Amino acid sequence: MLDVSNVYDTFPRFLSGAGVTLGVSLAGFALGTVIALGLLLLARSRLAPARWIAAVYTSFIRGTPLLVQILVVYYALPGLMGIDLSPLVAGVLSLAFNSAAFIAEILRAGLTRIPTGQFEAAKALALPRHVVAFNVILPQLMRNVVPPMVSEFTMLVKASAILSVITVVELTRTAQHVMTETFRPVDAFVTAAAIYFIILYAFSMVARRLEHNDKRAAR
Amino acid sequence: MNDMPETEPAAVEITGLNKWYGDYHALRDIQLSVAPGERIVICGPSGSGKSSLIRCINRLERHDKGSITVEGLELTDDKKRIRTIRREIGMVFQHFNLFPHMTILENCMLAPMSARKLTRPKAEELARRFLGRVHIPEQADKYPGQLSGGQQQRAAIARALCMSPRIMLFDEPTSALDPEIIKEVLDTMIELANDGMTMLCVTHEMGFARQIADRVVFMDHGRIVETAPPGDFFTNPRQDRTRLFLRQLLH
Ligand SMILES: Nc1ncnc2c1ncn2[C@@H]1O[C@H](COP(=O)(O)OP(=O)(O)OP(=O)(O)O)[C@@H](O)[C@H]1O
Ligand SMILES: [Mg+2]
C-alpha cells in the first residue's frame, strides 16, 4: 500500500528529479531541433555526399536502440574525441542526436504540406530569401508541425528515463535512490509514474489548445 | 546604360521561345511582342501551354530556348536580374495564394517593405490605397480565410499592385470562383486595364476579352495558333482550330 507520509517526506527529491527530467528533455529537444534543421539542409543539398550523410545518420538513429546510442555517446565519444563528458551533458547530447532524426522528418513532412502556390507567390513578389523563409514559410511550418513536435517531445520525456543508466539523477533515477533507501518500491515508482503522467498530460493539453487556436486563425 | 534604344522598348518581347518538361515539348517557337499599355488575353484548350507561357515571363518556369525581354532587360539565369524583372511584374494566380497567416494588409505590405524597402507607414499607406482601389478597404485587418473567394482574389490583385509593377500577369484569375462572384473580379481587372496597365491575362471569360483586350492570343499544343484583335478573333477567326475552340466554348 501507498504510505502517504513517506511519499510526503521524499516528495521534494522527486520534484528536483522531475526538474532534471524536464531540463534534459527540453535541452535535448532544443538542440535536436537545431541539428534537425542542419539535417534538413543536408538532405535538400545539391551535393550528393551531403544528402548521403543525412540519410546514413537518419537510418543509424532509427536502426539502433536509444540505450545503445546513449552508451555510445557516454563511453565511446569521449574516447574518440578526447573529451570528457559529464553524464548530464552526454545525456542531453544523446537525446538531441536521437530526436534530431525524427524532428527532421517532422519538419520535412510539414514543408511538403505547404502548397507550392505559397512559394510561387513569394517568388512572384520578388521577396528576398530570408523574408520568404522567416515571414512566409516558417510561420506556416510552425502551424503544421506543432502537434507532431509536441508528441515527439513527450516521447523524449519518456525516453529520458533511460538516462538513469548513465547515472543522471532524473526522475526515474531519483525513484531508484528513494526505493533503496526506504525499501518502499511501490511508493517510489507510483510517485514517479504520477509525476511523469502529470507532465505529459499537461503538454498534451497545451498542444490541443495550440492546435485549436491555429485552426481558428486559419479559417 | 549606353545602349538605350531610341524607341520605347516593348513591355515584353518573346522570340523563338521553347520549353520542355522532360521530354514533353510544352512551348514551341513562341513569338510575342507586347507593347506598353497593351492588354493581351490568352486562351486555348487545357494543356496548350498558356500557364507555362506567362510563368516563363516572371521566371516561375525557366525557358530552354529563345529569349524573353522585359522592359528592355533580357531574362537570364542571373539571380539579381531575375529579381529586378520580377519587381516589374505582378502576378495573380487562380488560387489567390495569399499568405494565410497574415492579414490582408500585411499581405499587401510585405513586398513593398522587403523588396522595395519602404518604411512601414509608407507601405501601409500604399497597401490601404490599393485595397481601396480594389474596393475592399474594410477587409484590411481580416485574414484571407475570413474573406469570400472574390474578395481574396481582389486582395491578391491589390497585393500585386503594391509592388507598383509595370506589367500584370493573370493566370485564370476567375476560374476558381463561383459564377456570381466572377463579375466583381473582372470589374476590378477592367478598371485596371482602363488605367493603362500592361496586362497578359489567361482567361476564358470572352466577354472580358471583347471588352478590354487589344489582342487575343489563341494557343494549342504549345504553339500560338492565332493572334487577332477581339473583333476579328470572335467574329472571323482565320484558323479552323480557333473556330472549333470557340464553338466548344459556346457549346
Ligand atoms: N511542372 C510540370 N512538369 C511536367 N509537365 C508540366 C508541368 N507543368 C505543365 N506541364 C505540362 O505542360 C503542358 C502545358 O501545361 P500548362 O499548364 O502550361 O497548360 P495550360 O494551357 O495552362 O492548361 P490549363 O488550361 O489546364 O491550365 C501540359 O501538358 C502539362 O501537363
Ligand atoms: Mg493553366
Residue B5 located in a structural domain: no
Residue B1 located in a structural domain: no
Query: pTM score > 0.90 for this model?
Result: no
In chain A the domains, ranked by start, together with CATH numbers, are 4-218 (1.10.3720.10)
Which chain B residue lies closest to A136 (C-alpha atoms)? B99
ipTM for the assembly: 0.92
> What are the tens digits of pLDDT across the range B129-152?
999 999 999 999 999 999 999 999
Q: Which domain holds residue B22?
A: 12-250
Residue B128 located in a structural domain: yes
Ligand nearest to the CA of B223: 1
Residue B214 located in a structural domain: yes
> What are the tens digits of pLDDT across the range A108-137?
999 999 999 999 999 999 999 999 999 999
Average pLDDT in chain A: 91
> What are the tens digits of pLDDT across the range A43-68?
988 999 999 999 999 999 999 999 99
pLDDT of residue A215: 60
Is B115 an interface residue toward A (CB < 8 Å)? yes
Number of domains in chain B: 1
Is A9 an interface residue toward B (CB < 8 Å)? no
Residue B135 located in a structural domain: yes
Contact at CB, B163 and A125, closer than 8 angstroms: yes
Residue B162 located in a structural domain: yes
Identify from B55, B78, B114, B130 which residue to disrupt to test chain A contact, counting A C-beta atoms within 10 A and taking the largest count. Answer: B114
pLDDT at A214 over 70: no
pLDDT at B2 over 80: no
pLDDT of residue B1: 46
CATH number of the domain within which B186 lies: 3.40.50.300
Residue B110 located in a structural domain: yes
Q: Is the CB of B46 under 6 A from ligand 1?
A: yes
| DSSP code of residue B78 | -
Residue B4 located in a structural domain: no
